[in-house]
Amino acid sequence: MPGFELFGDLERKEVHNVLDSGVLMRYGFDGMRNGHWKSKELETELQKAFQSKHVQLVSSGTAAVSVALAAAGVGAGDEVIMPTFTFVASFEAIMMLGAIPVLVDIDDTLTLNPEAVENAITPKTKAIMVVQMCGSMGHMGALQAICNNHKLLLVEDACQAIGGSYKGKPLGSIGDLGCFSFDFVKTITCGEGGAVITNNQEFYTNADHYSDHGHDHNGNDRGAETHPFLGYNFRISELHAAVGLAQVKRLPEFLDIQKRNYTILRNALSQILEVTFRTIPEGGEESYAFLNFFLPDLEIARQVSDEFKANGIDACFHYFDNNWHYIRKWDHLKDLKSLFPISTEVKQGLEYLQTKTFQKSDHYIGRNISCLIKLSWTEDEVKARALKMVEIIQNSI
């Protein structure tokens, strides 16, 4: 991760096909295409990769979350339970629909704590959104059981976890709907792009129409299509899909490299008694996009993070003080700093953020270091990096 590190001839070929035809839009202009339908081809490849019946490409991972929720009928005043550790897009996508993000604690999987989820359910709860952060998963069996017991939607934001699996099923394919991002720093990239996956025909049809202004996509004349319901523009372009089409064909290659580099680093850090690793639920396999480990306390984690930066160990994140990925620094959410008026329902629904604390999340995120696994590292570079990381950690404890 990320796939852009290994751009090559296959990506160039697919993009040139689009430029040669001159059709950059995914819909219409059938006669000009010279047989090239990159978005459709990518959706077919993703169906195979995700073992899912339906895939709808969209313009981003953020769009994927909004489209997935809208396709399942989530909207004004509905509550969506989500974790304190994620990217800001998670709550943005919920609020865009007029729904209310209900943040709850994580556990040592770095994803939703099932007990916290259970305690947060109210009559307004419509969906539980597990965010498979940093390449791994939550306790999916427990979360599925909660959703089944309360008749709630289980939505997977698997934007950072392509290639991971749980009990043989790809992450993203386990819930009612799965969401992926193909932005510039994901394991496979389109530059910008995303996907909604589902085995539910109704949800897929809704996502297909909703993401293209409500077009029903019946027939061969785009101008004659009807609009069964309101929609918006979350379309991907053929250029972006072309890059992704090349990248998804290389996914096994990328995952092999990630696993090799991850394993070298993990084996080295395993020698340090004070280092522990995130919990991977039984039956789960990471995508190996990140190596996540815990240090004894917050101050040591801060010191190690600073020493990593000072010694050229890049791409290692201490999210406790991060502006983008953890609740502590989301002041724009807590203070509702919006360019447009926010509904009274959402304002009232988010009042809890003024007083609620997340001590369990602090306990895990404060001690966690998350290291991105690059595809461009040589084996010798990874080994040298591992030795330096071990030295820094041992000197800091």
* Residue 186 appears among annotated catalytic residues: yes
Q: Which of 167, 186, 334, 374 is catalytic?
A: 186
> Contact, 117 vs 128, CB < 8 A?
yes
> Contact, 147 vs 174, CB < 8 A?
no
CA distance 115 to 95: 24
The number of residues making up the chain comes to 397
> Contact, 144 vs 283, CB < 8 A?
no
Q: Which residue has the tokens 């306390």?
A: 297
CA distance 244 to 3: 10
Long-range contact list for 145-151, CB < 8 A, 24+ apart?
A: 146/114, 146/117, 146/118, 146/121, 147/175, 150/121, 150/125
DSSP letter for 2, please.
-
> Contact, 208 vs 217, CB < 8 A?
yes
Amino acid sitting at position 154: L
CA distance 50 to 194: 14
Torsion of CA 165, 68, 58, 287, to 10 degrees: -10
The Cα-based distances of 337 to 83, 144, 231, 262 in angstroms read: 21, 34, 26, 39
> Contact, 159 vs 187, CB < 8 A?
no
In three-state form (DSSP H/G/I as H, E/B as E, the rest C), the secondary structure along 71-126 is HCCCCCCCEEEEECECCCHHHHHHHCCCCEEEEECECCCCCECHHHHHHHCCCCEE
Q: Which residues are catalytic?
A: 186
